[in-house]
């Protein structure tokens, strides 16, 4: 998770300039026609303990050379009503939306409707520093526009691309335009509005034309808000201190262009295959297939989504989830090895502490921490439970904390005075140091 936040850059603007001058309640069902039986055994064995922990819910699809060889549906689209996930269930795909926005941008560049070197002041003349911010800055996360335009807790009302620009256009930039890279969903929200103004079409119409139509994606929707009746829409869930909880209400239309699309694993499979086969607009394959690999990743609210393609064996895997646990991340890490028949060690989980920690011990953890080039973490206690921002942290028997949202194990590093001076956040083989930046 932190690796994707620390450095997730889609370096397509330069390409454009070069190419175009200018509790076991969970259920599992579904078997692909022509299913690979050996692969199914490996995948089912790997996911069985994750399902037993109630950590897995969503759609999994594996293909070889474009043909689906395994398909699984896990868990519930709506737990309260007992509605199981099916292949037709629609999930928010978060930042996997961004490649679609890029493809639409390439299409408009090819038509001469805009250039990667255009400043956004051409369409939004009152945007702060808009004469300096170019389309390529938005594409490459170099605009300085803040990543988060609206806090998650306030992202509850239906929004449009025009409305998001009104919110962002007078916000101070995080850094001088073009001086560095910093992942920005806000930049892609502005880009969505630029595309609308340049084309005279809505963002939804642009995706229908440049993405959904060419890739034959029949179960995808570009930016439905919370008022829309969207058949098959999944609800989202997050781990809580006593089990799964409903994810906080969010209206993802505020993430237009950046994280607003709802889709299925089958539709993302169609998109991946269209990209790697070169059937999308000229430049799409070069933008996303690098060194024989394609890697899409996104998360927002209680949703996670990813898609992988590896030219070695032409293996493709897509996973969409409506449960924000660490299981989708672990599966992404191990799934290509499973598909190749390589041994994968089982996931090891820490033993949780049987008794709650004393309030004084929880208070010792509280404070503000900063991962270098990554997210700010505020640890605070609520109702006797420790949280990192809105992620629950559960005490383990060896004195660490366990984060069910990413399977992270968090160790407190004491300073000379015995207080927690920094956190060591461990995700498998990845370790992230987060020094304290402010006293509680």
- Which residue is it, tokens 């996973």? 319
**DSSP state at residue 211:** I
Three-state secondary-structure class, residue 423: strand
pLDDT of 305: 98
Q: Which residues does residue 238 pair with via DSSP β-bridges, in sequence order?
A: 245
Whole-number Å distance between alpha carbons of 238 and 392: 9
**Is 131 within 8 Å of 121 (Cβ atoms)?**
yes
192, HSE (Cβ side, Cα atoms, 13 Å): 35
For the stretch 197-240, pLDDT in tens is: 999 999 999 999 999 999 999 999 999 999 999 999 999 999 99
pLDDT of 23: 36
Instruction: Tell me which residue of 351, 342, 347, 311 sits closest to 328, measured CA to CA.
Output: 347
Instruction: Tell me which residue of 193, 195, 307, 304 sits closest to 255, measured CA to CA.
Output: 193
Q: Please work out, in degrees rounded to the nearest 5, the angle formed at the alpha carbon of residue 251 by the alpha carbons of 245 and 252.
A: 105
pLDDT of 148: 87
pLDDT of 439: 53
Rg (CA), the chain: 22
Q: Please work out, in degrees rounded to the nearest 5, the angle formed at the alpha carbon of residue 174 by the alpha carbons of 168 and 176.
A: 105
pLDDT of 71: 97
Residues of the chain with pLDDT under 70: 1-33, 439-440
- Which residue is it, tokens 């290509």? 336
Three-state secondary-structure class, residue 14: helix
Q: Which residues does residue 296 pair with via DSSP β-bridges, in sequence order?
A: 307
**Is 116 within 8 Å of 16 (Cβ atoms)?**
yes
């Amino acid at each position: 998770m932190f690796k994707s936040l620390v450095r997730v850059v889609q370096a397509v603007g330069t390409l454009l300039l070069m190419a175009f001058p200018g509790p076991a309640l969970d259920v599992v069902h579904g078997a692909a026609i022509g299913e690979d039986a050996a692969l199914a055994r490996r995948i089912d064995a790997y996911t069985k303990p994750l399902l037993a922990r109630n950590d897995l819910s969503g759609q999994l699809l594996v293909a070889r050379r474009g043909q689906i060889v395994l398909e699984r549906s896990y868990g519930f689209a709506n737990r309260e009503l007992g509605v199981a996930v099916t292949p037709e269930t629609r999930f928010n795909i978060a930042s996997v939306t961004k490649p679609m926005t890029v493809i639409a941008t390439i299409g408009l560049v090819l038509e001469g409707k805009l250039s990667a070197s255009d400043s956004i002041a051409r369409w939004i003349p009152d945007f702060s520093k808009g004469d300096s911010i170019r389309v390529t800055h938005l594409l490459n996360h170099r605009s300085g526009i803040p990543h988060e335009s609206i806090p998650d807790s306030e992202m509850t009302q239906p929004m449009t691309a025009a409305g998001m620009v009104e919110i962002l256009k007078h916000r101070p930039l995080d850094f001088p335009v073009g001086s560095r890279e910093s992942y920005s969903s806000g930049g892609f929200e502005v880009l969505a509005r630029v595309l609308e103004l340049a084309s005279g079409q809505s963002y939804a119409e642009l995706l229908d034309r440049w993405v959904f139509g060419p890739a034959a994606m029949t179960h995808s929707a570009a930016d439905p808000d919370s008022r829309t009746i969207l058949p098959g829409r999944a609800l989202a869930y997050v781990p809580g201190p006593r089990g799964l909880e409903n994810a906080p209400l969010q209206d993802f239309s505020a993430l237009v262009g950046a994280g607003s699309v709802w889709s299925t694993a089958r539709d993302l499979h169609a998109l991946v295959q269209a990209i790697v086969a070169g059937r999308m607009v000229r430049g799409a394959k070069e933008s996303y297939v690098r060194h024989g690999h394609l890697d899409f990743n996104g998360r927002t609210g209680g949703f996670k989504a990813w898609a992988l393609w590896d030219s070695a064996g032409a293996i493709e895997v897509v996973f969409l989830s409506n449960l924000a646990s660490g299981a989708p991340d672990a599966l992404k890490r191990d799934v290509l090895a499973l598909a190749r028949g390589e041994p994968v060690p089982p996931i090891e989980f820490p033993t949780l502490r049987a008794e709650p920690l004393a309030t004084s011990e929880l208070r010792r953890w509280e404070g503000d921490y900063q991962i270098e080039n990554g997210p700010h973490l505020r640890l605070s206690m609520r109702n006797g439970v420790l949280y990192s921002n809105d992620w629950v942290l559960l005490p383990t028997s060896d004195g660490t904390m366990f984060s069910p949202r990413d399977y992270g194990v968090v160790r407190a590093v004491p300073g000379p005075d015995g207080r927690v001076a920094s956190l060591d956040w461990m995700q498998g083989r990845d370790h992230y140091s987060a020094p304290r930046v402010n006293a509680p």
